[in-house]
Amino acid sequence: MTSTPIRALALLSLLFPSLLYAAGDMTAQSPVTMTIQLGSKDNQLKFYPSVLRFETGKLYKLVIKNPSQQKHYFTAEAFSRSVFTRKVQIMSKANKTIAEVKGHIHEIEVYPGGTAQWWFVPIKTLQSSRLHCSIKGHTEAGMTGRISIK
């Protein structure tokens, strides 16, 4: 007769097969989708939202949109060192993936009207770390935010 823990595990894997799979490969979970906007249609120099919160061990799909008429950066040095990047997808106007970038990502620049998706798993905690746009004058004008990982 099967022991209780083994039966419990078998039952769990039947109910949540992704749980067991994800335990071995954290990038194989279904992602938690979050969206951040760089600037706005009326060219406000802000991030919307300006505060992002993540948790270690979860796969995130951060959709980075630029609805403004100028280029903006998503620059967050400490944050970029605290996540494992699965990929970055570059989206077309019709929201189809037109390129995928693999490897460590330091910062992302999004052109007017463009969208990029950053897929990552936070691997260490971070307390209220700086996010900013590194285009000259934008940080000073208020294009800053905070990112934390718990």
Binding residues for Cu ion (CB under 5 A): 72, 133, 135, 138, 143
Rounded-to-integer distance, Cα 124 and Cα 133, Å: 23
Rounded-to-integer distance, Cα 90 and Cα 55, Å: 24
CB of residue 115 vs Cu ion: minimum separation in angstroms?
16
In this structure, the strands spanning 51-54 and 144-149 are parallel
Beta carbon nearer to Cu ion, 7 or 106: 106
CB of residue 46 vs Cu ion: minimum separation in angstroms?
9
CB of residue 70 vs Cu ion: minimum separation in angstroms?
7
Which helix (H) or strand (E) covers residue 22, if one does? helix 17-24
CB of residue 133 vs Cu ion: minimum separation in angstroms?
3
Sign of CA dihedral 45, 107, 60, 67: positive
Beta carbon nearer to Cu ion, 138 or 146: 138
Beta carbon nearer to Cu ion, 29 or 70: 70
Taking a C-beta distance cutoff of 8 angstroms, is the pair 144, 132 a contact? yes
Beta carbon nearer to Cu ion, 59 or 143: 143
Taking a C-beta distance cutoff of 8 angstroms, is the pair 90, 133 a contact? no
